[in-house]
Structure 1
Amino acid sequence: MISILSRLMLACLLLPSIWTVARAEAVSFPELSSTIPGHQDATYFDLAKMIVPDLQAGDNGFYNGSAPIEMRDILGGNDGGSAPETINLPNAAVLAIKAGGKERLAMLLDLGQAQDSAEGFAVLALYDLTGKPKLLDAVNVGTDQGTYFRDPGKLAIGPGDDALITMSTHFNSNQGYVGTILILVRNDRFEPIDQINTFDENVCAYKRTQDLSFQTRGSEKPYAAIRVTVTDATKPSGESCEEPAPKAVSHDISVTYHWDKTGSRYVRNSDAFEKLSAENEKRF
């Protein structure tokens, strides 16, 4: 009996340190003309117009407009893409989140690419829907041609807080490039946690993928630790090719982010993802 009680007590002590795998949260793509739940007098189109003030419905099922409002790039600096002169928006992705113990709505609008830009321009917007819909913050999260919420699109990092995850990507005939951004919502503003760049190849002799997974540990306050793992896997195709086939191999690369109370930001425990990005660039 004592042995059983001891094991139960040990299990309870260990529970706070257990890593929790992030679950997929449904991202929705409502018609912009549809009403916002709980707001019969407001639509998602009204939210989008807070980003693109002259947005209007077109004849082709798209919504057309020109320049969006001024906003900063989530990663800082001027490395982000430029908004196109003419916007053709088919829809927007929305995701309900918690921030500072409050219900918020995140909306992602991919506005496309300017002619002279290699990167797209994608707006991540934060809204307060508790009363009349209000825009709280907006940032450009586009780092490549197309931008989306990842799966999962958010991570619970506290009882009343979620972190967001976006991805920008493009593909050619046998290569795929993905830039993932972890984003904290604090004081109703978006703050970057980190960017993780991965690279996939699919050639005659083999397929190499770099897949991401996310875990949190809720024992840390005010925000949980976040562990991100890249599984780098190479699988021979079995085809007869000019190039030799590599051996099947798979290994994990993990980085953990902890909240630094002194700096009021997440800090990583390793530069492993920077090294991975540098190694990947050699394979481009």
Structure 2
Amino acid sequence: MKVALRAALAGLAIVSMPAIPAFAEPALRPDLADPVGGREDVTFADLVRLVVPGTACNETIDVREIGSEAVENLEPESMAALLLTAVWVRSDGNDRIALLLDFGRGRHVVGLAILALFDVTGEPRL
């Protein structure tokens, strides 16, 4: 009896939870100079600078593990530009963009990537 009551209460709790749908579009491979969402005042380079301030987006940056000193000799395998993957997401009625920043692989690092979610309805923010 107790097990059936617990199962019924758990089922009722799950069913009564408000469900907020989230929708996503196909992934894009934008360039840093491409405008975000057709806006001429914001580029993907501007979004990258919100995540990695002070970078020109086409340079090698110093990386360190959290809680340690800077890691030496993190030379990337190639000097190719930062690879971006963007997915437009509509969540809770707001347009957002998920941006994967792939900094490539280093000599002692398997890979360095950052996933960031931006609200781009007004001034872009993380």
Number of matched pairs: 94
- Which structure has the larger Rg over C-alpha atoms? 1
Is residue 64 from structure 1 mapped to residue 59 from structure 2 by the alignment?
Answer: yes
Residue in structure 2 matched with residue 44 of structure 1 by the alignment: 44
2:52 counterpart of 1:96: no
Question: In structure 2, how many angstroms separate the alpha carbons of the residues matched to 1:32 and 1:68?
Answer: 21
More helix by share: 2
How far 1:134 sits from its partner (Å)?
A: 0.6
The partner residue of 2:107 within 104, 110, 115 is 115
Q: Extract unaligned runs of 5+ from structure 2.
A: 1-23, 67-73
Superposed structure 1 runs of 4+ greater than 6 Å apart: 68-71
Alignment map for 1:124-143 (pairs within 5 Å): 124-135=115-126
Q: TM-score, normalised by structure 1?
A: 0.29
Measure, in 1, the Cα distance between the counterparts of 2:60 and 2:93: 35
TM (normalized to structure 2)? 0.60
CA separation in 2, counterparts of 1:65 and 1:34?
Answer: 21
Query: In the TM superposition, what is the alpha-carbon distance from 1:29 to its structure 2 partner?
Result: 1.0
Higher relative contact order, chain-length normalized (CA < 8 Å, sep 6+): 2
Contact 2:82–2:104 under 8 Å retained in 1:
no
Report deviation, 1:121.
1.4
How far the C-alpha of 1:70 sits from its partner, in A, is 8.8
Aligned CA distance change for structure 1 residues 26 and 69 (closer, same or farther; 3 Å): farther
Alignment identity in percent? 32
Aligned partner of 2:17 in structure 1 is none
State the Cα RMSD in Å: 2.9
Quick one: structure 1 residues 70 and 99, their matched pair in 2 at CA, closer, same or farther if it must change by over 3 Å? farther
User: d(CA) in 2 for partners of 1:44 and 1:68?
Assistant: 21
After superposition, what is the alpha-carbon deviation per residue over 1:210-264, rounded to whole angstroms, capped at 9, x for unaligned? xxxxxxxxxxxxxxxxxxxxxxxxxxxxxxxxxxxxxxxxxxxxxxxxxxxxxxx
Contact 2:90 2:96 in 1 (8 A): yes
Report the alpha carbon displacement of residue 95 of structure 1 after superposing the two structures with TM: 0.5
Q: Could you tell me which residue of structure 2 aligns to residue 54 of structure 1? A: 54
8 Å contact from structure 2 (residues 83, 103) kept in 1: no
Change (3 A) 1:89 1:54: farther
Higher strand share: 1
Gaps of 5+ in 1: 1-23, 58-62, 72-83, 136-284
1:95-244 matches, within 5 Å, as 95-117=87-109, 119-135=110-126
Determine the C-alpha separation between the residues in 2 that align with 1:47 and 1:126. Answer: 10
Q: CA deviation digits over 1:15-56, x for unaligned, max 9?
A: xxxxxxxxx942111111122124321110111112222322
